[in-house]
Protein backbone atom coordinates (compact mmCIF):
# COMPACT_ATOMS: atom_id res chain seq x y z
CA UNK A 1 0.00 0.00 0.00
CA UNK A 2 1.34 3.46 -0.92
CA UNK A 3 1.92 5.90 1.88
CA UNK A 4 -1.07 8.24 2.19
CA UNK A 5 -0.73 11.90 1.37
CA UNK A 6 -1.02 14.03 4.50
CA UNK A 7 -3.82 16.63 4.38
CA UNK A 8 -2.33 20.10 4.69
CA UNK A 9 -3.01 23.68 3.65
CA UNK A 10 0.54 23.96 2.34
CA UNK A 11 0.83 25.37 -1.21
CA UNK A 12 2.81 22.22 -2.06
CA UNK A 13 -0.26 20.04 -1.46
CA UNK A 14 -2.59 20.49 -4.41
CA UNK A 15 -5.28 18.28 -5.87
CA UNK A 16 -6.36 18.68 -9.47
CA UNK A 17 -9.68 18.15 -11.16
CA UNK A 18 -10.46 17.84 -14.85
CA UNK A 19 -13.66 19.78 -15.53
CA UNK A 20 -15.17 23.00 -14.24
CA UNK A 21 -18.80 22.04 -13.63
CA UNK A 22 -20.80 21.78 -10.43
CA UNK A 23 -19.34 18.40 -9.50
CA UNK A 24 -15.87 19.93 -9.67
CA UNK A 25 -17.11 22.83 -7.56
CA UNK A 26 -18.43 20.57 -4.79
CA UNK A 27 -15.29 18.43 -4.98
CA UNK A 28 -13.13 21.55 -4.54
CA UNK A 29 -15.13 22.67 -1.52
CA UNK A 30 -14.76 19.24 0.10
CA UNK A 31 -11.02 19.14 -0.62
CA UNK A 32 -10.51 22.63 0.80
CA UNK A 33 -12.36 21.65 3.97
CA UNK A 34 -9.76 18.87 4.38
CA UNK A 35 -6.82 21.26 3.96
CA UNK A 36 -6.01 20.86 0.27
CA UNK A 37 -5.70 23.50 -2.41
CA UNK A 38 -7.39 22.78 -5.71
CA UNK A 39 -6.48 23.44 -9.33
CA UNK A 40 -9.12 23.01 -12.05
CA UNK A 41 -8.48 22.46 -15.76
CA UNK A 42 -11.36 23.81 -17.84
CA UNK A 43 -11.56 25.49 -21.27
CA UNK A 44 -14.29 27.95 -20.22
CA UNK A 45 -13.23 31.23 -18.57
CA UNK A 46 -16.25 31.22 -16.25
CA UNK A 47 -17.27 27.96 -14.58
CA UNK A 48 -18.73 26.79 -11.25
CA UNK A 49 -15.55 25.04 -10.11
CA UNK A 50 -13.35 27.93 -11.17
CA UNK A 51 -15.27 30.25 -8.84
CA UNK A 52 -14.05 28.37 -5.77
CA UNK A 53 -10.76 26.70 -6.78
CA UNK A 54 -7.48 28.38 -5.90
CA UNK A 55 -6.22 28.06 -9.46
CA UNK A 56 -7.87 27.70 -12.87
CA UNK A 57 -5.94 26.30 -15.82
CA UNK A 58 -7.76 27.63 -18.88
CA UNK A 59 -7.06 24.93 -21.45
CA UNK A 60 -8.81 22.31 -23.54
CA UNK A 61 -9.06 18.86 -21.99
CA UNK A 62 -6.55 17.53 -24.52
CA UNK A 63 -4.15 20.49 -24.43
CA UNK A 64 -0.68 19.12 -23.70
CA UNK A 65 0.65 22.30 -22.11
CA UNK A 66 -2.39 22.64 -19.87
CA UNK A 67 -2.20 19.00 -18.78
CA UNK A 68 1.50 19.33 -18.01
CA UNK A 69 0.86 22.49 -15.98
CA UNK A 70 -1.81 20.68 -13.94
CA UNK A 71 0.48 17.69 -13.36
CA UNK A 72 3.33 19.95 -12.29
CA UNK A 73 1.19 21.62 -9.64
CA UNK A 74 -0.74 18.67 -8.19
CA UNK A 75 0.02 15.48 -6.28
CA UNK A 76 -3.10 13.76 -7.64
CA UNK A 77 -5.77 14.46 -10.27
CA UNK A 78 -9.38 13.34 -10.68
CA UNK A 79 -12.15 14.03 -13.18
CA UNK A 80 -15.62 15.45 -12.60
CA UNK A 81 -17.21 14.12 -15.79
CA UNK A 82 -16.83 10.95 -17.84
CA UNK A 83 -16.22 12.52 -21.24
CA UNK A 84 -12.74 13.85 -20.51
CA UNK A 85 -10.37 12.20 -23.04
CA UNK A 86 -8.90 9.00 -21.64
CA UNK A 87 -5.63 9.85 -23.40
CA UNK A 88 -5.42 13.00 -21.27
CA UNK A 89 -5.70 10.94 -18.09
CA UNK A 90 -2.98 8.62 -19.40
CA UNK A 91 -0.70 11.62 -20.01
CA UNK A 92 -1.33 12.92 -16.48
CA UNK A 93 -0.67 9.46 -15.02
CA UNK A 94 2.89 9.58 -16.31
CA UNK A 95 3.62 12.24 -13.68
CA UNK A 96 0.95 12.10 -10.94
CA UNK A 97 -1.54 9.71 -9.36
CA UNK A 98 -4.82 9.75 -11.32
CA UNK A 99 -8.07 8.43 -9.86
CA UNK A 100 -10.07 7.16 -11.62
CA UNK A 101 -7.58 6.02 -14.23
CA UNK A 102 -7.92 6.09 -18.00
CA UNK A 103 -9.09 2.48 -18.19
CA UNK A 104 -12.06 2.89 -15.88
CA UNK A 105 -13.13 6.12 -17.55
CA UNK A 106 -12.76 4.72 -21.07
CA UNK A 107 -15.03 1.76 -20.26
CA UNK A 108 -17.74 4.09 -18.93
CA UNK A 109 -17.40 6.42 -21.93
CA UNK A 110 -18.37 3.76 -24.46
CA UNK A 111 -21.70 1.95 -24.10
CA UNK A 112 -20.46 -1.04 -26.10
CA UNK A 113 -17.38 -1.43 -23.90
CA UNK A 114 -19.50 -0.86 -20.80
CA UNK A 115 -22.03 -3.55 -21.71
CA UNK A 116 -19.24 -5.98 -22.61
CA UNK A 117 -17.61 -5.32 -19.24
CA UNK A 118 -20.87 -5.92 -17.36
CA UNK A 119 -21.33 -9.24 -19.18
CA UNK A 120 -17.72 -10.27 -18.54
CA UNK A 121 -17.98 -9.76 -14.78
CA UNK A 122 -21.51 -11.17 -14.39
CA UNK A 123 -20.15 -14.36 -12.80
CA UNK A 124 -18.95 -12.21 -9.90
CA UNK A 125 -21.58 -9.47 -9.81
CA UNK A 126 -24.51 -11.85 -10.49
CA UNK A 127 -26.26 -9.21 -12.58
CA UNK A 128 -26.61 -8.77 -16.34
CA UNK A 129 -27.40 -5.74 -18.51
CA UNK A 130 -30.55 -5.59 -20.62
CA UNK A 131 -30.46 -7.57 -23.90
CA UNK A 132 -28.80 -5.35 -26.49
CA UNK A 133 -27.35 -5.16 -29.99
CA UNK A 134 -24.81 -2.90 -31.71
CA UNK A 135 -26.33 -0.91 -34.58
CA UNK A 136 -23.66 0.38 -36.96
CA UNK A 137 -25.36 -0.11 -40.35
CA UNK A 138 -28.69 -0.70 -42.07
CA UNK A 139 -27.74 -4.39 -42.23
CA UNK A 140 -27.59 -4.43 -38.43
CA UNK A 141 -31.10 -2.94 -38.36
CA UNK A 142 -32.42 -5.60 -40.73
CA UNK A 143 -30.97 -8.27 -38.43
CA UNK A 144 -32.71 -7.02 -35.27
CA UNK A 145 -34.54 -9.86 -33.55
CA UNK A 146 -38.19 -9.42 -32.70
CA UNK A 147 -37.37 -9.98 -29.02
CA UNK A 148 -35.34 -6.72 -28.88
CA UNK A 149 -38.30 -4.50 -29.73
CA UNK A 150 -39.61 -2.24 -28.42
CA UNK A 151 -36.34 -0.79 -27.28
CA UNK A 152 -34.21 2.32 -26.79
CA UNK A 153 -31.62 3.32 -29.38
CA UNK A 154 -28.67 5.06 -27.73
CA UNK A 155 -25.55 6.67 -29.15
CA UNK A 156 -22.46 4.80 -28.03
CA UNK A 157 -20.73 7.93 -26.76
CA UNK A 158 -21.56 11.33 -25.23
CA UNK A 159 -25.16 10.67 -24.14
CA UNK A 160 -26.39 12.00 -20.77
CA UNK A 161 -29.56 13.33 -19.11
CA UNK A 162 -31.74 11.62 -21.72
CA UNK A 163 -29.75 13.03 -24.66
CA UNK A 164 -28.61 10.74 -27.46
CA UNK A 165 -31.40 8.20 -27.02
CA UNK A 166 -34.71 7.50 -28.71
CA UNK A 167 -37.48 5.04 -27.91
CA UNK A 168 -38.22 2.76 -30.86
CA UNK A 169 -41.00 0.23 -31.45
CA UNK A 170 -40.19 -1.09 -34.92
CA UNK A 171 -37.31 -1.50 -37.34
CA UNK A 172 -38.66 1.51 -39.24
CA UNK A 173 -38.40 3.52 -36.01
CA UNK A 174 -34.81 2.33 -35.61
CA UNK A 175 -33.95 3.37 -39.18
CA UNK A 176 -35.46 6.83 -38.65
CA UNK A 177 -33.64 7.31 -35.34
CA UNK A 178 -30.38 5.99 -36.80
CA UNK A 179 -30.62 8.55 -39.60
CA UNK A 180 -31.53 11.32 -37.16
CA UNK A 181 -28.43 10.52 -35.11
CA UNK A 182 -26.24 10.88 -38.19
CA UNK A 183 -25.74 7.12 -38.64
CA UNK A 184 -23.20 7.01 -35.81
CA UNK A 185 -22.70 3.67 -34.10
CA UNK A 186 -25.51 3.07 -31.61
CA UNK A 187 -26.67 0.47 -29.14
CA UNK A 188 -30.21 -0.90 -29.16
CA UNK A 189 -31.40 -1.95 -25.70
CA UNK A 190 -34.56 -3.92 -25.09
CA UNK A 191 -37.17 -2.08 -23.01
CA UNK A 192 -37.88 -4.06 -19.86
CA UNK A 193 -40.84 -4.00 -17.42
CA UNK A 194 -39.29 -1.54 -14.99
CA UNK A 195 -40.62 -1.27 -11.45
CA UNK A 196 -38.14 1.40 -10.31
CA UNK A 197 -34.53 2.51 -10.68
CA UNK A 198 -31.83 2.58 -8.02
CA UNK A 199 -28.30 3.88 -7.99
CA UNK A 200 -25.50 2.50 -5.89
CA UNK A 201 -22.68 4.78 -4.87
CA UNK A 202 -19.49 2.94 -4.08
CA UNK A 203 -15.89 3.94 -3.52
CA UNK A 204 -12.67 1.98 -3.73
CA UNK A 205 -9.29 2.98 -2.37
CA UNK A 206 -5.84 2.43 -3.86
CA UNK A 207 -5.37 -0.39 -1.34
CA UNK A 208 -8.34 -2.31 -2.77
CA UNK A 209 -10.69 -1.65 0.13
CA UNK A 210 -14.20 -0.56 -0.85
CA UNK A 211 -17.30 0.88 0.76
CA UNK A 212 -20.87 1.19 -0.47
CA UNK A 213 -23.50 3.76 0.46
CA UNK A 214 -27.20 3.08 1.19
CA UNK A 215 -29.32 2.41 -1.89
CA UNK A 216 -30.87 5.47 -3.55
CA UNK A 217 -34.19 5.26 -5.40
CA UNK A 218 -34.45 7.66 -8.33
CA UNK A 219 -37.28 9.29 -10.28
CA UNK A 220 -36.54 10.85 -13.67
CA UNK A 221 -38.48 13.37 -15.72
CA UNK A 222 -37.67 13.85 -19.41
CA UNK A 223 -34.49 11.86 -18.93
CA UNK A 224 -33.20 14.14 -16.15
CA UNK A 225 -33.03 13.11 -12.49
CA UNK A 226 -35.94 14.65 -10.59
CA UNK A 227 -35.68 13.21 -7.08
CA UNK A 228 -33.53 10.79 -5.13
CA UNK A 229 -34.96 9.18 -2.00
CA UNK A 230 -32.88 7.34 0.59
CA UNK A 231 -33.84 4.90 1.94
CA UNK A 232 -35.74 3.97 -1.22
CA UNK A 233 -39.41 3.44 -0.31
CA UNK A 234 -39.76 0.52 -2.74
CA UNK A 235 -36.36 -1.11 -2.20
CA UNK A 236 -36.52 -4.46 -0.43
CA UNK A 237 -33.69 -5.60 1.81
CA UNK A 238 -32.92 -8.40 -0.66
CA UNK A 239 -32.71 -6.04 -3.66
CA UNK A 240 -30.56 -3.61 -1.69
CA UNK A 241 -28.09 -6.32 -0.70
CA UNK A 242 -27.89 -7.69 -4.25
CA UNK A 243 -27.25 -4.23 -5.67
CA UNK A 244 -24.60 -3.38 -3.08
CA UNK A 245 -22.79 -6.69 -3.58
CA UNK A 246 -22.95 -6.27 -7.36
CA UNK A 247 -21.54 -2.75 -7.15
CA UNK A 248 -18.60 -3.83 -5.01
CA UNK A 249 -17.87 -6.73 -7.37
CA UNK A 250 -17.97 -4.37 -10.37
CA UNK A 251 -15.71 -1.72 -8.82
CA UNK A 252 -13.21 -4.42 -7.83
CA UNK A 253 -13.23 -6.10 -11.24
CA UNK A 254 -12.65 -2.73 -12.88
CA UNK A 255 -9.62 -2.10 -10.65
CA UNK A 256 -11.13 1.31 -10.01
CA UNK A 257 -9.99 3.94 -7.50
CA UNK A 258 -12.44 6.66 -6.51
CA UNK A 259 -16.20 7.13 -6.33
CA UNK A 260 -18.25 5.17 -8.85
CA UNK A 261 -22.02 5.34 -9.29
CA UNK A 262 -23.80 2.35 -10.85
CA UNK A 263 -27.44 2.54 -11.93
CA UNK A 264 -29.62 -0.56 -11.76
CA UNK A 265 -33.15 -1.34 -12.88
CA UNK A 266 -35.38 -3.40 -10.61
CA UNK A 267 -37.95 -5.17 -12.78
CA UNK A 268 -41.54 -5.95 -11.88
CA UNK A 269 -40.58 -9.54 -11.01
CA UNK A 270 -37.77 -8.33 -8.73
CA UNK A 271 -34.92 -9.08 -11.13
CA UNK A 272 -31.94 -6.75 -10.87
CA UNK A 273 -30.48 -5.43 -14.15
CA UNK A 274 -27.34 -3.29 -14.38
CA UNK A 275 -27.85 -0.23 -16.59
CA UNK A 276 -24.80 2.04 -16.65
CA UNK A 277 -22.06 3.54 -14.52
CA UNK A 278 -20.59 6.99 -14.00
CA UNK A 279 -16.88 7.18 -13.06
CA UNK A 280 -17.27 10.11 -10.67
CA UNK A 281 -19.54 11.47 -7.93
CA UNK A 282 -23.11 11.52 -9.19
CA UNK A 283 -26.25 13.65 -9.08
CA UNK A 284 -28.05 10.87 -7.17
CA UNK A 285 -25.33 10.94 -4.51
CA UNK A 286 -25.77 14.61 -3.59
CA UNK A 287 -27.90 13.60 -0.59
CA UNK A 288 -24.69 12.34 1.07
CA UNK A 289 -23.58 15.94 1.60
CA UNK A 290 -26.28 16.43 4.23
CA UNK A 291 -27.37 12.94 5.28
CA UNK A 292 -24.18 10.87 5.60
CA UNK A 293 -21.09 10.95 7.76
CA UNK A 294 -18.86 11.23 4.67
CA UNK A 295 -20.12 12.96 1.53
CA UNK A 296 -19.40 11.49 -1.88
CA UNK A 297 -17.08 14.44 -2.59
CA UNK A 298 -15.08 14.00 0.62
CA UNK A 299 -14.89 10.31 -0.27
CA UNK A 300 -13.43 11.18 -3.67
CA UNK A 301 -10.80 13.33 -1.96
CA UNK A 302 -9.91 10.46 0.37
CA UNK A 303 -9.58 7.94 -2.47
CA UNK A 304 -7.41 10.11 -4.72
CA UNK A 305 -5.23 11.20 -1.80
CA UNK A 306 -4.80 7.54 -0.73
CA UNK A 307 -6.36 8.20 2.67
CA UNK A 308 -8.58 5.71 4.51
CA UNK A 309 -12.10 5.73 3.09
CA UNK A 310 -14.75 7.48 5.18
CA UNK A 311 -17.75 6.21 7.10
CA UNK A 312 -20.75 5.83 4.75
CA UNK A 313 -23.44 5.67 7.44
CA UNK A 314 -26.60 7.64 6.73
CA UNK A 315 -27.67 9.52 9.86
CA UNK A 316 -31.00 10.87 8.54
CA UNK A 317 -33.60 9.87 5.93
CA UNK A 318 -33.30 12.19 2.95
CA UNK A 319 -34.97 13.30 -0.27
CA UNK A 320 -32.99 15.26 -2.85
CA UNK A 321 -34.74 17.55 -5.35
CA UNK A 322 -32.90 18.59 -8.51
CA UNK A 323 -33.29 22.29 -9.26
CA UNK A 324 -33.53 23.09 -12.98
CA UNK A 325 -33.53 26.50 -14.62
CA UNK A 326 -37.22 26.14 -15.47
CA UNK A 327 -38.29 27.46 -12.07
CA UNK A 328 -36.74 30.87 -12.77
CA UNK A 329 -39.31 31.39 -15.57
CA UNK A 330 -42.89 32.60 -15.23
CA UNK A 331 -44.03 32.93 -18.80
CA UNK A 332 -41.57 35.35 -20.39
CA UNK A 333 -40.34 36.92 -17.15
CA UNK A 334 -37.33 35.64 -15.20
CA UNK A 335 -37.06 35.97 -11.42
CA UNK A 336 -35.17 34.41 -8.54
CA UNK A 337 -37.07 31.56 -6.82
CA UNK A 338 -38.34 32.08 -3.27
CA UNK A 339 -35.38 30.51 -1.52
CA UNK A 340 -36.32 32.17 1.77
CA UNK A 341 -39.60 30.25 1.84
CA UNK A 342 -37.84 27.00 0.90
CA UNK A 343 -35.24 27.48 3.63
CA UNK A 344 -37.98 28.09 6.17
CA UNK A 345 -38.92 24.42 5.79
CA UNK A 346 -37.41 22.18 8.50
CA UNK A 347 -34.43 20.17 7.25
CA UNK A 348 -34.04 22.04 3.94
CA UNK A 349 -30.43 22.22 2.72
CA UNK A 350 -29.94 24.39 -0.37
CA UNK A 351 -26.98 24.01 -2.75
CA UNK A 352 -26.72 26.39 -5.71
CA UNK A 353 -24.00 25.90 -8.31
CA UNK A 354 -22.95 29.47 -9.09
CA UNK A 355 -24.56 29.57 -12.54
CA UNK A 356 -25.89 33.03 -13.39
CA UNK A 357 -27.68 32.01 -16.59
CA UNK A 358 -30.79 29.94 -15.80
CA UNK A 359 -32.03 27.95 -18.78
CA UNK A 360 -34.81 25.43 -19.04
CA UNK A 361 -33.46 21.95 -18.34
CA UNK A 362 -30.16 23.27 -16.97
CA UNK A 363 -29.08 21.95 -13.56
CA UNK A 364 -28.81 25.00 -11.32
CA UNK A 365 -28.66 23.38 -7.89
CA UNK A 366 -30.37 20.95 -5.56
CA UNK A 367 -32.21 20.92 -2.27
CA UNK A 368 -31.92 18.03 0.16
CA UNK A 369 -34.51 17.52 2.86
CA UNK A 370 -33.35 15.61 5.93
CA UNK A 371 -35.71 14.61 8.71
CA UNK A 372 -36.15 12.14 11.58
CA UNK A 373 -38.44 10.06 9.34
CA UNK A 374 -38.72 9.54 5.60
CA UNK A 375 -42.36 10.62 5.67
CA UNK A 376 -41.35 14.00 7.14
CA UNK A 377 -38.65 14.48 4.50
CA UNK A 378 -41.15 13.63 1.74
CA UNK A 379 -43.64 16.11 3.19
CA UNK A 380 -41.05 18.89 3.06
CA UNK A 381 -40.26 17.95 -0.55
CA UNK A 382 -43.93 18.36 -1.43
CA UNK A 383 -44.08 21.72 0.33
CA UNK A 384 -40.97 22.94 -1.53
CA UNK A 385 -42.40 21.86 -4.88
CA UNK A 386 -45.49 23.91 -4.09
CA UNK A 387 -43.37 26.95 -3.28
CA UNK A 388 -41.27 26.59 -6.42
CA UNK A 389 -44.17 25.78 -8.73
CA UNK A 390 -42.89 22.29 -9.54
CA UNK A 391 -45.71 19.85 -10.34
CA UNK A 392 -45.65 16.54 -8.45
Binding residues: 111, 154, 159-165, 189-192, 197, 220, 275-276
Which tens digit of pLDDT belongs to each residue from 89-117? Answer: 999 999 999 999 999 999 999 999 999 99
pLDDT at 214: 97
Going by pLDDT thresholds of 50, 70 and 90, the confidence category of residue 223 is confident
Span 312-323, mean pLDDT? 98
Could you give the C-alpha distances from 354 to 18, 45, 327, 363, in angstroms and in order? 18, 14, 16, 11
Per CATH, the number for 14-98 is 3.40.50.20
Which tens digit of pLDDT belongs to each residue from 139-182? Answer: 999 999 999 999 999 999 876 655 678 999 999 999 999 999 99
53: phi then psi, degrees, rounded to nearest 5: -70, 155
Where do the structural domains in the chain lie, given as residue ranges?
14-98, 131-190, 194-388
pLDDT at 1: 43
Q: How many helices (H) and strands (E) does the chain have?
A: 13, 20
Binding residues for ATP: 111, 154, 159-165, 189-192, 197, 220, 275-276
Span 25-32, mean pLDDT? 97
pLDDT at 392: 86
Question: What Rg value do the Cα atoms of the chain yield, rounded?
Answer: 21
Which tens digit of pLDDT belongs to each residue from 249-303? Answer: 999 999 999 999 999 999 999 999 999 999 999 999 999 999 999 999 999 999 9
Residues near 374 by beta carbon (within 8 Å), at least 6 away in sequence: 229, 231, 233, 317, 319
Going by pLDDT thresholds of 50, 70 and 90, the confidence category of residue 5 is very low
Span 186-208, mean pLDDT? 96
Class of 194-388 in CATH: alpha beta
Domain 131-190, CATH number (from 3.40.50.1000, 3.30.540.10, 3.20.20.70, 3.30.1490.20): 3.30.1490.20
List the one residue out of 285, 277, 237, 228 whose CA is nearest residue 254.
Answer: 277
Amino acid sequence: MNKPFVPAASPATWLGVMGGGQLGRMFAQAAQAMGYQVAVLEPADECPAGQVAQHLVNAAYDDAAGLDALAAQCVAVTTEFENVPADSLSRLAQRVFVAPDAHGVSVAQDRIAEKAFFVACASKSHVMPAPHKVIASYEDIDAIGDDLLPGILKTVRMGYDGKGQVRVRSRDDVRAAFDEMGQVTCLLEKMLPLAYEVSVLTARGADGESVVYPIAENVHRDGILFTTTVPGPNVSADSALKAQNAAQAIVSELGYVGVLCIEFFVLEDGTLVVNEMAPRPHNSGHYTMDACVTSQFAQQVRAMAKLPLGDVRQHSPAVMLNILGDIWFDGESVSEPAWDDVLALPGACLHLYGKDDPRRGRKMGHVTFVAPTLAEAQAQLQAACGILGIPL
